[in-house]
Every structure is written in structure tokens, then in C-alpha cells.
Amino acid sequence: MKTQNYILILLIAFSCSMCNSSKKEEKKSTEKTSETKNHKHDALSAKDSLKLVNHQIQVKGEVEFPLQLTVDSLKKMKVVTIDNLKITGKNGEVKREVKVCKGVLLKDILEKAKIKQEDHKDRNFYIVARASDNYKATFSWAELFNNPTGENTFILFEENGKPVKNGEMIAICKNDIKTGPRHVYWLKSIEVYKVK
Ligand SMILES: Nc1nc2c(c(=O)[nH]1)N[C@H]1C(S)=C(S)[C@@H](COP(=O)(O)O)O[C@H]1N2
Ligand SMILES: [Mo]
């Protein structure tokens, strides 16, 4: 009887320890998934990257006239030419240089959509340029409408005479110190929010 009890306790202890180690394994595997997720953009196949392309961008949120913009509709607006655009990464390294590109000022698009402002003091809005991989960049009303950045923030559709790569439209802020962070390819929407 005593030996039987002893064996039973041993069995319970053993199965408990097995249980714990499998939990540890589980945790390790979730950690690995989130790690791969952060770098998923490097591993994208050509087919997957095609899925991220949008033929139109949505201008939405706190605007009087929500818009759907295509490359053709941008071409009908005031098109500007930008020379020698450098895309710099987080360490300041030049990732890409574009000799000449064409686009429209983000400010002009927002003026067309008309931000819903109650009066002249209603200026606390932020604008999110979002891509289909959910990469995003944020602008403030003040930097676009009351700062030189407004003349330097574009939605591009053409690079060196050809359609842009990685989607059909790209948001860029030319006067940022490092231009990579607010360079948004696969652009999907321009969203206007009011600070609550
Ligand atoms: N949609 C989208 N745009 C993006 C990114 C991204 O992952 N998705 N990466 C950004 C970063 S971190 C940089 S530095 C620049 C240039 O990145 P690239 O080397 O992938 O061209 O694009 C930016 N735009
Ligand atoms: Mo980057």
C-alpha cells in the first residue's frame, strides 16, 4: 500500500513537470512569431507585395467631402515636380535617391476634402497617412497649414517618368531630417482626426 502511494505521488510530480515544460515551449514559440512579424516586410514575396497595392486612396475622417483619389485624379490637380529626393533610413544612411518625381501637395488634397473646422481656433487636427501593411506616418494641422512643411509634403505618383514602385501612390515629407520614416509606400488612406 505504501509503495503504491509513493509511485502515485511520483507519477503526479512527473506529469506536473511535463506540463510546465510544454508551457515554456509554447511561450518560446509565440515569442518567435512576434519576432518574425516585425520583420515580415523583408520576407514578402512579389505576389504578397502585389496584394498591398491600392488603385485608389481614401481621404476620410473629419472632412466635409471624403474623396477617393486615383493617380488619374491626382494628375488633374496641381502637379509639382520634386528633384533629387533622398530616402534616408533611421541612421541617416541614404537608402534610395530619386532624380525627379511628380506628385501633389498633401495640403492641396486636404483643402479639396475640406477639414471640418468649427471656427479659426479649431486647429487641433492630426493627419495619418496609412499604408495597406498598416505602416503609417502622422502630420499635424499646424505643420501642414502654418509651417514650411506644408510646401514639402507630397503624395507622389511618378518617379523618373515611371509609375512609383511599391503601390501607386507614396506619401513623403521632403524636409524631414530623415525622410524614411514619413515615406509611406502602398498608401491606402489619408485620415483626418480631431484631438479630443
Ligand atoms: N508601407 C510601408 N512604408 C514604409 C515602410 C514599411 O514597412 N511599409 N518602411 C519605412 C522605412 S522604416 C523606411 S527607412 C523607408 C525606406 O524603406 P525601404 O528600405 O523599405 O524602402 O520606407 C518607409 N516606408
Ligand atoms: Mo527605416
Please report which ligand is nearest the Cα atom of 179. Answer: 1
- The model's pTM: 0.81
116 and 178 fall within a common domain: yes
1 and 35 fall within a common domain: yes
User: pLDDT-based confidence at 24, cuts 50/70/90?
Assistant: very low
Residue 45 has pLDDT above 90, yes or no: no
For residue 50, what pLDDT is reported?
A: 85
36 and 62 fall within a common domain: no
Number of folded domains in the chain? Answer: 2
73 and 20 fall within a common domain: no
Domain of 87?
A: 46-194
The per-residue DSSP string of 51-118 comes to HT--SSEEEEESBSS-EEE-HHHHHTS--EEEEEEEEE-TTS-EEEEEEEEEEEEHHHHHHHH-B--S
CA of 49 to the centre of ligand 1 (A): 13
Cell numbers of 24, please?
515554456
Please name which of 175, 57, 78, 178 lies closest in space to residue 127, comparing C-alpha atoms. 57
For residue 179, the domain's CATH number is: 3.90.420.10
- Beta-carbon contacts of 98 under 8 Å, excluding residues fewer than 6 positions away, are 84, 85, 86, 87, 159, 160
Ion ligand 2: residue ranges with CB closer than 5 A: 89-90, 180
For residue 178, what pLDDT is reported?
A: 98
Q: pLDDT of 117-162, one tens digit each?
A: 999 999 999 999 999 999 999 999 999 999 999 999 999 999 999 9
27 and 63 fall within a common domain: no
Is the CB of 185 within 6 Å of ligand 1? yes
